[in-house]
Amino acid sequence: MDESKFCTGCGHAVEPDMQFCPQCGKVISGSAAEASLKDQEKEINSLVLMARRNWLIFLLAIYAIPVIIISAIALFEASSMASAIWASDEFRDWMQSHGFDFTQQNIQNYLTYAAGLGLGSGISAMISLICVYMRKMWIIAVITCLAATILCFWSIIGIIIGFLVTWMIIGSRDIFEDSTDNTGNAGS
Ligand SMILES: [Zn+2]
């Protein structure tokens, strides 16, 4: 539009079609080179966000998948596991030495309770994973990750890692598409 442009870096006069200042080498504002630099910056930002998202998916998956499988098996097999434990000599000895008097039903109830907690924790973590994967419902991702952590109260290490991952999700709001205020105006 304007015939004569000037470098924003050094004030040297530049031709309208120039990409870089011949004097100082600075990229000319409004040029195609500047637009491409901005595009690259955007691309790097989105790569960083995607890397963080992949990390969260990995952390949630290595917890959720085995915990769901093991808990589901334990829930399904609680009755036979209880009878096997109850019949074992080690368990009898342990019970006698501690003065406990558990029935087979007590053991089964305990196993069912523990497996139920594990299944709830694993499914919560899986819901959080799905939210992170879809990049939607940030608040649901935070709440379900927190729920997975609280249901893991029987493990100190689980609690610590769970709170760390929850904290990571809280800090990763940028990766969720619904976190931006200007809806429908996603710059491509
Ligand atoms: Zn210049």
Identify whether the C-beta of residue 20 lies closer than 8 Å to the C-beta of residue 26. Answer: yes
147 lies in some domain: yes
Report the alpha-carbon distance of residue 19 to residue 32 in Å, rounded: 7
Which sign, positive or negative, has the C-alpha torsion 46, 52, 55, 59?
negative
102 lies in some domain: yes
> Measuring CA to CA, which residue among 7, 5, 27, 26 is closest to residue 16?
5
The burial of 3, by beta-carbon neighbours within 10 Å (0-12 exposed, 13-18 middle, 19 or more buried), is given as exposed
Q: What is the pLDDT of residues 86-96, one digit of tens each?
A: 889 999 899 88
CA of 12 to the centre of ligand 1 (A): 5
182 lies in some domain: no
- In the chain, how many domains are there? 1
183 lies in some domain: no
109 lies in some domain: yes
86 lies in some domain: yes
Question: 68-87: b or e for each residue (b if 16 or more CB lie within 10 Å)?
Answer: beebeebbeebeebbeebbe
CA of 10 to the centre of ligand 1 (A): 4
**Which residues form the domain of 101?**
37-176
Which helix or strand (DSSP H or E) is residue 13 part of? Answer: strand 13-14
> Residue 154 — φ and ψ, nearest 5°?
-75, -10
In 3-state terms, what secondary structure has residue 5? strand
Q: What is the mean pLDDT of residues 63-82?
A: 93
CA of 2 to the centre of ligand 1 (A): 18
Q: Which amino acid is at 65?
A: I
CA of 6 to the centre of ligand 1 (A): 8
The burial of 90, by beta-carbon neighbours within 10 Å (0-12 exposed, 13-18 middle, 19 or more buried), is given as exposed
HSE-up (13 A, CA, CB side) for residue 147: 19
122 lies in some domain: yes
How high is the mean pLDDT of the chain?
A: 88
CA of 166 to the centre of ligand 1 (A): 48
13 lies in some domain: no
CA of 17 to the centre of ligand 1 (A): 14
Q: What is the pLDDT of residues 163-182, one digit of tens each?
A: 999 999 998 888 888 655 44
Q: What is the pLDDT of residues 12-64, one digit of tens each?
A: 988 888 889 999 999 888 888 899 999 999 999 888 888 999 999 999 999 99
Q: What is the pLDDT of residues 140-157, one digit of tens each?
A: 999 999 999 999 888 888
Report the alpha-carbon distance of residue 3 to residue 5 in Å, rounded: 7
Most confident by average pLDDT, 23-32, 67-76, 100-109? 67-76
Which helix or strand (DSSP H or E) is residue 14 part of? Answer: strand 13-14
Residue 131: predicted pLDDT: 93
